[in-house]
Amino acid sequence: MKVISIIAYNTFREIIRDRVLYGLVVFALLLIGMSLALGQLSFQEQSRISANFGLTGIHLSSIVLAIFVGSTLVTKEIDKKTILTLLARPITRVQFLLGKAFGLSGIIICVIVSLSIVMLFIFLNLNMAIDYRFFVALFGIFLEALVLLGVSLAFSSFSRPILVVSYSVGLFLIGHWLESLKFFAEKSENISFIYFSKIISNTLPNLEVFNWRSLPIYEESIAFSEVFNATLYSFTWFAIFLTITTIVLRRKDFG
Amino acid sequence: MEILNVKNLRKTYVKGFIPKKQLVLKGVSFSLQPGTITGFLGGNGAGKTTTMKCLLGLAFPDSGEVEYFGQKELTSQIKAKIGFLPERPYFYEYLTGMEFLKFYGQISTKLKKHDLNQRILSLLERVDLIHAKDKALRDYSKGMLQKIGLAQALVHRPEFVILDEPMAGLDPDGRYYLSELIKETASEGTAVFLSSHLLHDVEQLCEHLVVLTGGNVVYEGLTQKFLESMNPSIDISYVDSGVGKTCSVPKGEALQLKIRELLKSNFDIMEIKENKISLEEAFVNTALRKDS
């Protein structure tokens, strides 16, 4: 565990010292700032528009982090050959992978937390009620980012970053359209489309499960069991993708 | 006990769009003793780096056996006894020299924070980088990176160090300091396995050699014996009817016969001198012999 935490800390430090992260945070802050301006345009729905925009900003930045940074997390170590000195040390390939994944997860948490602090100030400014729903929405964003981090890590174990990003974005879009796909399959009479829909729904992660961003906006309620199941769902997919990555990396020659 | 015992290591790479097999190691065998500095020689593509990667678990051999400290498995405990400096070191450029050594020290030793800091500072002194300890590695020159790389390989006091081209890119001063550090490390009982194309440095540093050509070990043993095996010639200078002459004869029986012949002919022998062959010449001869 000590080795994993040291690698995770180093990964965290690597991303923190990268300018790309700050570009992303500035983008998210602009989006949140814009939410205030756009909210002003609406007479009655100001707080809802602001909350919607703000949460979308946090959601997008965490997804971009998971996909774009995740796609180069391992390949960068291989391309720059830093992996050679690292794996020559008392570190297993699984520990290396877990360290990298936890390091980026830490960054995603930090970005979500820091952007949500900005959001909280905006909520306070708009006299919006802040309750558990806001934090559940943020937790859902993190769970989705975790699954996508697993996806990009798994793809990066056998593909180049540009393709990894394409595959991951594809999976992100499919993951959000699965509910619609199921809906159309139910209405469809085409047998092959129904089977295709079933296969896709059962083999790919459904990312709409984590979409709780409407909770604080429309003051909807959510059962604890739903949050618990979604957490389990996210961790399971993350573990599946990490296992795939480990299997590929286990017998890979580096050099 | 041997530090390392490599037996019949074979490795094939599959490369290209249409997969083509390339046998890189064709049964490499050699062993290393504690406290020795062994030079690992071979031309480009001979299989040196591949051998090193197989030893470190970075590449998987097709067949063969490697014993580390008498054990057949490269466990974390064994890895903790090994240090490695790769060829053309690429390091985490966002780290400072101090952070970099701390990172590698923390993952390789159980030293307490204070002791590890002391070890790092003393290593930085030894590689003459104490002034750059708080500088990011991206601002280091190639020579400085080579030095910090060596410090990284030694930070956990390994019993066995693998150095791939440690002198590359260093100025004469740097090479001298690094040579001294390598000698000092070996004198503390660490086995050093060093690959280099700078054969003059290898000749000065290494008492043992493993010579690799085309994926095969063509020589393993003492450097001195390797040089002697090249049959260096002996120049005999003598005076023949007032005229100074020189002839070259191979070492051994031919030399004795030639001396007897000259003495019998009443020539005055002025000088008998051995033509010392450099490691570079010896290596080239070996490679050429193997090629032919």
Interface predicted TM-score of the whole assembly (ipTM), two decimals: 0.81
> So what's the pLDDT on residue A43?
62
Give the pLDDT band (50/70/90) at residue A40. confident
Q: Say whether residue B112 is in contact with chain A using an 8 A CB cutoff.
A: no
CA distances from A1 to A91, A98, B27, B133, B277 (A): 11, 10, 38, 28, 54
- The answer to the question of residue A71 being in a domain is yes
How confident is residue A44, by pLDDT bands cut at 50, 70 and 90? low
CB-nearest to B108 from A17, A89, A254 is A89
**pLDDT at A107 exceeding the cut of 90:** yes
Q: Which of residues 80-99 of B touch A (CB under 8 A)?
A: 80, 82, 84-86, 88-92, 94-95, 99
Interface residue of A84, A92, A93, A95 to substitute, partner B, most B CBs within 10 Å: A84
A77 φ, ψ (degrees, to nearest 5): -65, -35
A14 interaction partners in chain B (CB closer than 8 Å): 92, 94
> Is the residue at A255 inside a domain?
no
Domain identity same for B170 and B245: no
Which token pair is B217? 């070990």
Does residue B218 sit in the same domain as residue B242?
no
Q: What is the mean pLDDT of residues B14-41?
A: 88
Domain that holds residue B253: 233-276
Contact A6 B106 (CB under 8 A): yes
Domain count of the fold of chain B? 2
B58/A82 CB distance under 8 A? no
pLDDT in tens, B261-282: 888 888 888 888 887 777 888 8
Q: Is the pLDDT confidence value at B124 over 80?
A: yes
Query: Are the beta carbons of A51 and A216 closer than 8 angstroms?
Result: yes
Looking at the structure, tell me whether residues B154 and B271 fall in a common domain.
no
In a domain, B137, yes or no: yes
**Chain A residue nearest residue B75, CA to CA:** A90
Check whether residue B250 and residue B190 sit in a common domain.
Answer: no
The residue of B21, B92, B155, B162 whose CB has the most chain A CBs within 10 angstroms, and thus the best one to mutate to test that interface, is B92
In whole angstroms, what is the distance from residue A53 CA to residue A125 CA?
15
Is the Cβ of A10 closer than 8 Å to some Cβ of chain B?
yes
Give a yes or no: residue A213 inside a domain: yes
Residues of chain B in contact with residue A85, where contact means CB-CB under 8 angstroms, are 84-86, 89, 91, 104, 149, 152
Question: What pLDDT is stored for residue B144 in this prediction?
Answer: 87
B180 and B104 within one domain: yes
**Cβ–Cβ of B58/A88 closer than 8 Å?**
yes
Nearest CA in chain B to A3: B107
Residue B282 counted as domain residue: no
**B82: chain A residues, CB-CB within 8 Å:** 88
Element of type H or E holding B129: none
Are B249 and B209 found together in one domain?
no
Residue A38, class by beta-carbon neighbours within 10 Å (0-12 exposed, 13-18 middle, 19+ buried)?
middle
pLDDT of residue A129: 76
Q: Are B60 and A253 in contact (CB < 8 Å)?
A: yes
Does the pLDDT value for residue A194 go beyond 80? yes
**Structural domain contains residue A27:** yes
Number of domains chain A contains: 1
Spatial distance between the Cα atoms of A194 and A186, rounded to a whole number of angstroms: 7
* Residue A173 in domain: yes
Q: What is the dihedral of CA A187, A192, A194, A199, to 10 degrees?
A: -160
Residue B92 clears pLDDT 70, i.e. is over it:
yes
Closest to B80 (Cβ–Cβ): which among A6, A85, A90?
A: A90
Q: Which residues of A are less than 8 Å from B13 in CB distance?
A: 253
Tens digit of each residue's pLDDT (9 = 90 or more) over B212-231: 988 889 889 998 888 877 76
What is the rounded CA–CA span in Å between residue A180 and residue A184?
A: 6
Mean pLDDT value of segment A157-162: 86
Please report whether residue B288 resides in a domain: no
- Residue A178 pLDDT more than 90? no
When pLDDT is cut at 50, 70 and 90, the band that residue A20 belongs to is: confident
Cβ–Cβ below 8 Å for B59 and A10? no
Kindly state the percentage of chain B with pLDDT values over 70: 97
Distances (CA, A) of B83 to A201, A233, B67, B192, B220: 49, 42, 16, 9, 22
**pLDDT band for position B249 (50/70/90)?**
confident
A188 φ/ψ angles, rounded to the nearest 5 degrees:
-80, 155
The answer to whether residue B172 scores a pLDDT higher than 70 is yes
Let me know: does A75 contact A165? Beta carbons within 8 Å: no
Do B129 and B261 fall into the same domain? no
Q: Give yes or no for B166 touching A (CB within 8 A).
A: no
Greater model confidence, B275 or A135: A135
> What's the CA gap between B5 and B70, in Å, rounded?
8
In a domain, A165, yes or no: yes
Do B95 and A13 make contact, defined as CB atoms within 8 angstroms?
Answer: yes
Residue B263: CATH number of its domain: 3.10.20
What's B86's domain CATH number? 3.40.50.300
Given this model, what pLDDT does residue A100 score?
93
Q: Is the domain of B159 the same as that of B62?
A: yes
**Domain range enclosing A89:** 2-250
In a domain, B287, yes or no: no
B79 to chain A: which residues are within 8 Å by CB? 88-91
* Whether residue B134 is found in the same domain as residue B255: no
The Cα-based distances of B28 to A149, A250, B25, B71, B220 in angstroms read: 41, 24, 6, 18, 11
Q: How far is A86 from chain B (nearest CA, A)?
A: 8
Same domain, B219 and B238: no
- Across chain B, what does the average pLDDT equal? 87
